């Protein structure tokens, strides 16, 4: 056994011990918890207990589902496979789709690229003809994206279908890295992670978001999907995937009747006995919703679609072809979209407790008793979550996004009983003109008002909550208020951002040559890239760059590309930058493509499932022992 395998075995044993301790602590806590109900508020105490118990069960299922995870494999690819690359579009701007098409055409494995234009636009047709890809349009948009794909399947004849949303840029090795899985004739689809390159978007949170590449989606694509893959339960996510045409044909094509055709199709393929594979390597990147409005629209469609699939496919007792693990995976996915109700109860609990002077615990509960029975489970639970997430979760940040999703989650529950048709809402690719998100403000205002009420009562000696119960509830209220405030700040930050494209921090070599002094060449370092401009400084960090029109030879992705820009000094006094001047569309296409491939490969550096974790830090590395013979 290699040293790497031994260390992985040590970490797995440590995780099992940690999980066992958490279960043991919870087995002590929950029976004890029944003995400290507040007799003055039995209904409130019972509801709170139910919420705690549901959270525990949900947590245990999550921990067990990611106990083992798959890793990407490098498999030989059979030459000569017939592959079609589909790019469905409806109302996305032509310049965004153009970037996707340019990247798709440059995928190295031989294929044919198709633009599926449900907007039936003359300018989209002209773009497709200019770039040399196939173009399909429909007169009617029946069944939205699913209908668009099924219509294309009638005309394209490839054995395999690679699918990218209109804003997703593919890395050139995409097919080389995924087609090998189809040597197994039972594989219906291979899903890869969906990453996003606009770091100013709503789902990126944190002061260093453009460098740490953590988003709200990181846990799902870097851990949960890889865990589900170990029991053939990875889900098709509608983009950045390859599907076998024969598998689609066997289930009647892409599933219609819901607004999440991806999950719906995935259920039907697994139900029909097909297998799936998850290749946990970032090979594409797209645009995440820019603001709170786009985020809510996208999450509402996903949540409502999950409810529709749950109802139409009868996921509890129907879909008889699903294995128990597959069924559990899909039910977990549906339940994750129902969590808004439970989380809202959690956020409002301190408001009720402080506002009405109630507590889900007995008023005479002491800190010592609480610390003995409750604190170990809380600490071990947090430890388990972050450890099993393998460094791809941030518990407070995850809770901030849980709060942001609450309204759409609760609204989607209506689709469990409402069978009326839902319109397919395309995720906006540009910023909203006006965006108001009231839910976090309501939580913040109610929490602050309840805290102020208790502060007034304490000052006048009339508060019912005193001692340790008061400290507990006030701490909880502070955390709820802080998370609501973070959502408000995130919403405001995105609303104020005027860019539809992020700037990328980089360190790339370049040569600057002023047009008015062609003999002068200055070595420089490019520190920032954007779709329309760059920032750079002299290589020595001190010499000024010429403030004039310059030729810049940028070295990126193993190539050197010529650029032209008018250099102007930046505010820091050391850097210069400017807008790029394009000679033609092809030059612009090349620059954007190479920039995006560089960013995709940078994002892939975060693919390692085992990021920094507590156990990885605590457990010493085994030293190699070399036996020397004399």
Query: Among the residues of 132-178, which ranges form H helices?
Result: 144-153, 174-178
CA 155, 160, 163, 169 torsion-angle sign: negative
Q: What is the 3-state secondary structure (H, E, C) of 341-371?
A: HHHHHHHHHHHHHHHHCCCCECCCCCHHHHH
CA 100, 105, 110, 114 torsion-angle sign: positive
- Please list the active-site residues: 118, 262
Nearest alpha carbon to residue 290 among 168, 197, 213: 197
The helix, strand and coil proportions of the chain, stated in percent and rounded to the nearest 5, come to 50, 15, 35
Asked if 203 contacts 397 with a C-beta cutoff of 8 angstroms, the reply is no
**How far is residue 480 from each of residues 54, 127, 200, 472, 476, measured CA to CA in Å?**
20, 50, 24, 12, 6
Nearest alpha carbon to residue 389 among 575, 556, 612, 593: 612
Greatest pairwise CA separation for the chain in angstroms: 87
Distance between CA atoms of residues 241 and 283, nearest Å: 10
Phi-psi region of 374 (alpha: psi -120 to 50; beta: other; left: phi over 0): alpha
Distance between CA atoms of residues 565 and 181, nearest Å: 45
**How far is residue 530 from each of residues 114, 501, 503, 510, 578, measured CA to CA in Å?**
28, 7, 5, 15, 10
160-163 vs 195-196, strand pairing mode: unpaired
Distance between CA atoms of residues 419 and 308, nearest Å: 8
For the record, the structure tokens of 443 come out as 């939580």
Nearest alpha carbon to residue 189 among 125, 153, 242, 225: 242
Query: Among the residues of 357-466, which ranges form H helices?
Result: 367-373, 375-388, 395-412, 439-460
Q: How many CB atoms lie within 10 A of CB 133?
A: 18
Q: In the block, which residue shows the tokens 């770091």? A: 199
Asked if 206 contacts 489 with a C-beta cutoff of 8 angstroms, the reply is no
Backbone angles phi, psi at 392, to 5 degrees: -105, 10
Asked if 471 contacts 494 with a C-beta cutoff of 8 angstroms, the reply is no
Distance between CA atoms of residues 237 and 298, nearest Å: 13
Q: How many CB atoms lie within 10 A of CB 229?
A: 23
For the record, the structure tokens of 523 come out as 């070595």
Q: In the block, which residue shows the tokens 């798959």? A: 70
Helices and strands in the chain, H and E counts:
21, 17
């Amino acid at each position: 056994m290699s040293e790497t395998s031994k260390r992985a075995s040590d970490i797995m044993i440590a995780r099992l011990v940690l999980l066992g301790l958490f279960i043991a602590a919870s087995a002590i806590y929950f029976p004890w918890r029944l003995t400290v109900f507040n007799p003055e508020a039995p209904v409130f105490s019972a509801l709170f207990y139910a919420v705690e118990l549901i959270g525990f069960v949900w947590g245990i299922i999550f921990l067990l589902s990611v106990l083992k995870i798959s890793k990407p494999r490098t498999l030989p690819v059979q030459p000569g496979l017939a592959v079609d690359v589909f790019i469905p579009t409806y109302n996305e701007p032509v310049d965004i789709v153009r970037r996707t098409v340019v990247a798709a055409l440059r995928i190295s494995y031989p294929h044919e690229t198709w633009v599926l234009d449900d907007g039936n636009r003359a300018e989209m047709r002209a773009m497709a003809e200019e770039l040399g890809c196939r173009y399909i349009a429909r007169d009617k948009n029946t069944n939205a994206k699913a209908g668009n794909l099924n219509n294309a399947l009638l005309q394209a004849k490839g054995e395999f279908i690679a699918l990218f949303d209109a804003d997703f840029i593919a890395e050139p090795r995409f097919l080389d890295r995924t087609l090998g899985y189809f040597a197994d004739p039972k594989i219906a689809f291979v899903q890869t992670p969906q990453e996003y390159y606009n770091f100013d978007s709503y789902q990126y949170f944190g002061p260093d978001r453009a460098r740490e590449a953590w988003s709200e989606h990181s846990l799902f694509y870097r851990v949960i999907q890889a865990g589900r893959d170990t029991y053939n339960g990875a889900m098709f996510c509608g983009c950045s995937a390859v599907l076998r045409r024969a598998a689609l044909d066997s289930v009647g094509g892409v599933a219609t009747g819901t607004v999440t055709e991806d999950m719906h199709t995935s259920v039907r393929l697994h139900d029909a006995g097909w297998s799936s594979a998850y290749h946990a390597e970032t090979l594409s990147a797209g645009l995440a919703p820019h603001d709170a409005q786009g985020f809510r629209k996208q999450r509402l469609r996903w949540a409502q679609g999950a409810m529709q699939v749950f109802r139409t496919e009868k996921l509890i007792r129907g879909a008889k072809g699903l294995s128990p693990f597959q069924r559990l995976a899909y039910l977990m996915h549906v339940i994750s979209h129902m969590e808004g109700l439970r989380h809202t109860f959690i956020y409002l609990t301190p408001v009720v407790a402080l506002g009405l002077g109630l507590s889900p615990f007995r008023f005479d509960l002491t800190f010592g008793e609480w610390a003995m029975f409750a604190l170990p489970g809380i600490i071990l639970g947090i430890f388990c979550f972050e450890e099993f997430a393998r460094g791809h979760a941030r518990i407070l940040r995850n809770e901030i996004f849980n709060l942001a999703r609450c309204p759409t989650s609760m609204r989607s529950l209506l689709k469990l009983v409402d069978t009326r048709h839902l319109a397919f809402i395309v995720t906006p690719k540009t910023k909203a003109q006006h965006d108001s998100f009231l839910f976090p403000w309501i939580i913040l205002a109610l929490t602050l008002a309840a805290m102020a009420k208790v502060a007034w009562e304490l000052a006048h000696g009339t508060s019912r909550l005193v001692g340790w119960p008061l400290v507990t509830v006030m701490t909880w209220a502070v955390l709820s208020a802080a998370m609501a405030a973070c959502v408000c700040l995130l919403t405001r930050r995105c609303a104020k951002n005027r860019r539809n494209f992020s700037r990328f921090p980089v360190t790339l070599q370049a040569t600057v040559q002023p047009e008015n002094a062609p003999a002068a060449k200055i070595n420089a370092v490019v520190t920032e890239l954007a779709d329309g401009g760059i920032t750079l400084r002299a290589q020595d960090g001190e010499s000024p760059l010429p403030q004039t029109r310059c030729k810049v030879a940028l070295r990126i992705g193993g190539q050197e590309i010529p650029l032209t820009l008018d250099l102007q000094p930046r505010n820091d006094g050391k850097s210069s930058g400017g807008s790029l001047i394009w000679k033609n569309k092809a030059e612009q296409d090349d620059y954007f493509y190479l920039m995006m491939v560089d960013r995709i490969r940078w994002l892939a550096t975060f693919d390692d499932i085992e990021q920094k974790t507590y156990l990885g830090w605590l457990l010493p590395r085994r030293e190699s022992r070399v036996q020397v013979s004399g």
